[in-house]
Amino acid sequence: MAAGQRAKDMTVGSPMKLILFFSIPLLIGNIFQQLYNMVDTIIVGRCIDEKALAAVGLTGPMSFLVIGFVMGLSSGFAVLVAQRFGAKDEEGMRHCVGIMIILAAVVTAVVTLLAIVFTRPLLRAINTLPELFEQSYQYIVTIFAGIFTTVLYNILACILRALGDSRTPLYFLMVSSVLNIGLDFLFIVNFGLGVMGAALATVLSQAVSGVCCFLYIAKKYPVLRLSKKDFRWDFKIAAKHMGIGLPMAFQFSITAIGVIVLQGAINLFGESRIAAYAAASKVEQLVSQPAGTFGVTMANFSGQNLGAGRVDRVRKGVRQASFLTLCFSVLGMIVLLTCGEALTGLFIKEDAVAVDEIISASMHYLRICAAFFPFLFMIFIYRNALQGIGHSFMPLMGGVMELVVRCAAALILPGLLGFTGVCLAGPLAWLSAAVLLCISYFVIIRRVEKEYGKTQEMEISGSTIL
């Protein structure tokens, strides 16, 4: 199959080895992506002040709501591409990519418009302090205006990963990360653009990584060179894309709604706690990157193997990925407990008035998160394995479970436990979703095995008759 030298068929070979080697460059890429998001916050916090840090930090859930939606949609669209690749159907794969591009363009335009229109009302709804409002608005509206750059990179990166190539997106993301740091200093320190400069740096660097991916695919992947016929509209393929992509997108958005409600509760505790939560949540997201990495790997691994009719390999892959991700969750716990204070200190000026209070509150949050890390990590394995085999409903319900528990905790626990109640909201949501998804996976995978077993028996019977 002339799909480029870096394309990887995940339907043959050791699942453990394939999962690990596919995940390593993806993990590095995710860390780089998280780092350049962190750099914005670090430079804002150290080069401006803690008020700017709080202003940028409180927009995180809003960004997660919108950017998470389009990223989830991109990942969902790529599942069908992975299945066609696993089935060795090149023509069908190209047609899926063509429809994927059309859908992505339409969704991006609609989401960008809605996000910009509702930015101010949403900032008011989450109790944004008046002294932080304008800085928060400038930062997040600039990010929303550049959503198309995020979609460009993620669509192309997801296509490459669906073909088993997790290294190429990493290389371009590394270039983008270094560029982002340089642009941050240029726009914030040299040009004095404040928080808007940080947002512009993010958008421009993301655009560079997207353009690099496009040029690379055009040159190195003949199998992905689309013709006019690949863009002919097909309602059946579009429906399949949306059937997988929308639940994944809504799953991110549903989770984000819970985080927004939680942010509204945090904002009532004042600037210091807002800044502490902003710094600590960035550290938590960085340390938990292996969870998302193994999740993306399992979506592609499961999709390719389902396309090849190898449900047995899906089950084996999930089992081995679960072991790996639990090991990484323990490592993450150790990092949070031993290095959390040093990492959160990066976000704060040494002469900040409330530096001790901010770091103390940050560590309180991180210690609670560390205790629940195994549940967070397992969510990604079961959720993405189910999505990879085309079962998106229960992963969506897992997101609903997170929303309900996080909102209930955010509304009830702060009144009972103060800031500790805020810190517990996320971890309790992880626990509830992990239990639901674990049970769902084992029920559904047995059903899929039976369905494929019957299909294979019919094919053997038909061959015998012929």
Return averaged pLDDT per consecutive 10 residues of the chain, 466 residues in all: 55 83 78 71 76 81 86 82 82 91 93 95 88 91 94 88 79 85 88 88 92 90 88 91 82 80 87 86 89 85 82 89 92 93 81 76 94 94 87 85 91 92 94 94 89 54 43
SS3 149: helix
Read off the tokens for 183.
Answer: 């642009």
Question: Residue 36 has what pLDDT?
Answer: 64
DSSP 3-state assignment of 101?
A: helix
Query: What totals of helices (H) and strands (E) does the chain contain, helices first?
Result: 17, 0
pLDDT of residue 2: 42
SS3 136: helix
| Nearest Cα to Cα of residue 226 among 34, 90, 406 | 90
Question: What's at 276, amino acid-wise?
Answer: A
Which helix (H) or strand (E) segment is 410 a member of?
helix 393-417
Non-local (6+) Cβ contacts of 58 within 8 A are 126, 128, 132, 136, 263, 266, 267, 274, 278
Please state the φ and ψ torsions of residue 232, each to the nearest 5 degrees.
-65, 135
DSSP 8-state class, residue 229 = G
pLDDT of residue 352: 56
Inter-residue contact 10 to 305 (CB < 8 Å): yes
**Measured in Å, how far apart are the chain's first and last C-alpha atoms?**
30
Q: Which residues contact 170 (CB under 8 A, 6 or more apart)?
A: 25, 26, 28, 29, 32
The CA distance from 269 to 407, in Å, is: 17
Burial of 282-313, coded b for 16+ CB within 10 Å and e otherwise, reads: bbbbbbbbbbbbbbbbbbbbbbbbbbbebbeb
Tell me the residue type at 422. V
Residues in the chain: 466
The confidence score (pLDDT) of residue 200 equals: 93
Rg (CA), the chain: 22
Q: What is the DSSP letter of 8?
A: -
Please provide residue 268's backbone torsions phi and psi, each rounded to the nearest 5 degrees: -75, -10
CB 202 within 8 A of CB 40: yes
* Amino acid letter, residue 289: Q
CA distance 294 to 157: 16
The pLDDT assigned to 453 comes to 64
Closest CA to 3 of 154, 164, 168, 213: 164
Q: Compute CA 49 distance to the chain's CA centroid, rounded to the nearest angstrom.
A: 29
Global pTM value: 0.71
